[in-house]
Chain A
Amino acid sequence: MRHASPQAHGPVARADRILSPIEDATNLIAALFVFALMCIGIAQVVMRTVFATPLTGYVDLVELSMAGMAFLGAAYTQRMGAHIRMELALGHLTGRKLWAAEALGALVGMAIIGVLTWYSAEHFWRSYELGDTTMDAEYPVWPSKLVVPVAFSIWLVRLAIQFAGAVRLLNDPARDPQGVTLMKDAAQTAREEADAASEDT
């Protein structure tokens, strides 16, 4: 879906190549958190109903681990273009107008994720200094809160790459797209869904 070919030169393409494996890895970690949630859920039901000894601190553990699922994949999802947006107007734009809109979108994202990275880091730091724990099992809360600024920092870098990629194309729309998500219309999305289905059945 992204055009940046493996041999593409230039700082945007290089940054894209460096960040992508990091994003893949963090999304995989998020995926493993989901898998762990499944395992611990099954364990909890079995322990409670069969052995009448529920796991202590189960709810605390689930809540803390949800930070891993909710945030770690944010940059990966951004790269895949999967964060929801309305493409009604965008779909009709081409050339400079399209890249201007894409640059605006990335810029708004950078602004808010930048603020959130800073203040979620503060939120983590307070919790670390105070030694906050959960109510029930008294697990420390700070590792969970640390996930947010870490994931948001990676997201911020991805947005910066997309912004740079859009500005680069705004300067010269004829260039080979790098570091930007190319939009798909409904027919294209449909074709990909169809291909995915034919692979697996």
Chain B
Amino acid sequence: MLIGLGFQHPLAVGLIGVGLLIVLVFLGVRVVFAAATVGLLGLVELIGWGPAAGIVGIVPHAKATTYALSVLPMFIFIGFVAFHAGMTSQLFDAARKWLGWMPGGLAEAKVFATAGFAAVSGASTATSAVFARVAIPEMLRHGYDKRLSAGVVAAGGTLATLIPPSAILVIYAIIVEESVGRLLLAGFLPGLVSALVYAAIIIVWALVKPHHAPATPREERATWPERIRALPPLLPIMAVVFIIISAIYQGWATPTEAGALGAGIIFMVAVLRDAGLKPITESLMETAKLTVMIFSLIWGVTIFVRFLGFSGLAEAFTQLVVGIDAPPMVIMLCILLAYAVLGMFMDAIGMLLLTLPVVYPAVIALGFDSIWFGIIVVKMAEICLVTPPIGLNCFVVAAVRPDISLSDVFKGISWFFVADVITIIVLLAFPGIVTWLPDLMR
């Protein structure tokens, strides 16, 4: 039928394949199965059973055993160990002692403590869950509005995906064949900008509605000796950040080796804290689970991408997009809007892996920078973690605090959502914030 409409045979097969993939994913077939099955069927149709089965049998091992991917299990392991070793409460304690004097000081402390924890973790929801337990009681005790308290915790969790080490940025780098190191560096400043915009929103909120965030009384503020004493427990986290950024920037170790060093440090902290064997084996089992999930997605989607390559669909899509008579930025906004909608229904990693093989070549053909686009897309996917209908971070906060309703959390988050939109606009207007640090590396 599609051929009747004037499509070439491979292109028609490609379109049918994409359609079938959408149907299978929508029916709830696991993404790895849907992508690999459609990829195999399409290859069989285009090049025959023998060559197709040959390709499909080679892809999983060939794709999974590339050195660049070995950084993923390391970063994932760092996050789980840091989480199980309970490093979060110390971060919040230190941040509170340093920032407690500011308007909305406790909420400010929360934002920067999360930014710090993000440096050892790439997991947004876990970060929200921990801080909901650590920071919300403290804020409520000081008379903070519960919507503000819940909103800052749910929103802060999203910082984890931009600030290195971020697993999702590594995955983006692998799919589009960019340098992993450059993407990790690129996430640093936008992550910091996001944190600063959150902080600015809190200050404005606290100044406009002082009764939502009462100032900490002078006698309760931390003294300088107290502030200094709060710092040593943070040294391991600072060391991890320093090692990863300096190794990538100065090139004295590969991202995998830097990740291994970081994991070793956090692992030693967990051991010295006498955390016991259970949190460590648990971290390892969860790391293995998440690793296999991500690797499966990668080879599954690679099989699909092999098929797309034979169909010529990505090229056709690129031609179509480039041919649109509109400024590239307008097209970019449409693409981002599409991601925002998609992200409400799908996990960020799955969404990126499935769409990038087709969308990415078009974005590059429009003249956008590949690293810049990676950061923007990941930030978009993160916003979806705090917006209805899924907004998993908000569910997490509401689940930890039965006294705060889900609608309170969503209301609390609305200002931080505005903050995120501002951040995206800033990044669109000043792409230098993204590209400056990685460009220094060249």
List residues of A whose CB falls within 8 A of some B CB. 27-28, 30-35, 37-42, 44-45, 49, 59, 62-64, 66-67, 69-74, 76-77, 80, 82-90, 101-102, 104-105, 108-109, 111-113, 115-116, 118-120, 122-123, 144-145, 148, 186-187, 189-191, 193-194, 196-198, 200-201
Q: Given A84-B297, A88-B26, is A66 in contact with B289 using a C-beta cutoff of 8 Å?
A: no
In the complex, what residues of A have CB within 8 A of residue B264's CB?
38-39, 42
What's the Cα separation between A62 and B66 when bound, in Å? 9
Asked whether any CB of chain A lies closer than 8 Å to the CB of B74, the reply is: yes
The A-B contact count (CB < 8 A) is 245
The residue of chain A having its C-beta at the shortest distance from the C-beta of B290 within the complex is A82
The smallest beta-carbon distance between B72 and chain A, in angstroms, is: 9
Q: Are A76 and B27 in contact (CB under 8 A)?
A: no
- Are A73 and B346 closer than 8 Å at their CB atoms? no
Determine whether the beta carbon of A31 is less than 8 Å from that of B130. no
- Distance (Å) between the CB of B5 and the closest chain A CB? 29
Q: Given A30-B291, A84-B30: A197 and B65 within 8 A (CB)?
A: no
A72 to B260, CA, bound (A): 21
A194 close to B132 (CB less than 8 A): yes
Which residue in chain B gives the minimum CB-CB distance to A111?
B37
Enumerate 17 A-B pairs (CB-CB under 8 Å) in ascending A order: A28-B288, A31-B281, A37-B70, A70-B65, A72-B288, A84-B30, A85-B30, A87-B28, A102-B28, A109-B33, A113-B33, A115-B53, A118-B57, A123-B57, A145-B61, A187-B399, A191-B399
Contact of A83 among B133, B285, B296 (CB under 8 A): B296
A45 to B244, CA, bound (A): 13
- Cα separation A186 to B384 with both chains bound (whole Å): 14
Nearest CB of chain A from residue B116's CB, rounded to whole Å: 15
Which residues of chain B are near A63, meaning CB under 8 Å?
65-67, 70
Interface of A is mostly: helix
B309 close to chain A: CB less than 8 A: no
* CB atoms of B260 and A42 under 8 A apart: yes
Distance in Å: Cβ of A42 to nearest Cβ of chain B: 5
**Apart from A67-B64, A82-B293, what are 10 other A-B pairs with CB-CB below 8 Å?**
A27-B292, A49-B253, A64-B65, A70-B64, A108-B29, A196-B126, A197-B130, A200-B84, A200-B85, A201-B88
Decide if A34 touches B399 in the complex (CB within 8 Å).
no
Chain B's closest residue to A121 (CB) is B57
List of A residues within 8 angstroms of B89 by Cβ: 201
B70 close to A66 (CB less than 8 A):
yes
Minimum CB–CB distance from B28 to chain A (whole Å) comes to 4
Cβ 8 A contact of A70, one of B36, B252, B295: B295
Among B260, B261, B291, B391, point to the contact of A73 (Cβ < 8 A).
B291
Minimal beta-carbon separation of B321 from chain A (angstroms): 25
Q: How far is the CB of A132 from chain B (nearest CB, A)?
A: 12
- Contact of A31 (CB < 8 Å), options: B27, B132, B287: B287
Closest residue of A by beta carbon distance from B256: A41
Interface string of B17-60 (1 = CB under 8 A from A): 00000001111111111101100100000000000011011101
B112 at the interface (CB under 8 A from A): no
Contact A38 B267 (CB under 8 A): yes
Question: Contacts A187-B395, A193-B399 hold; do A27 and B73 have CB atoms under 8 A apart?
Answer: no
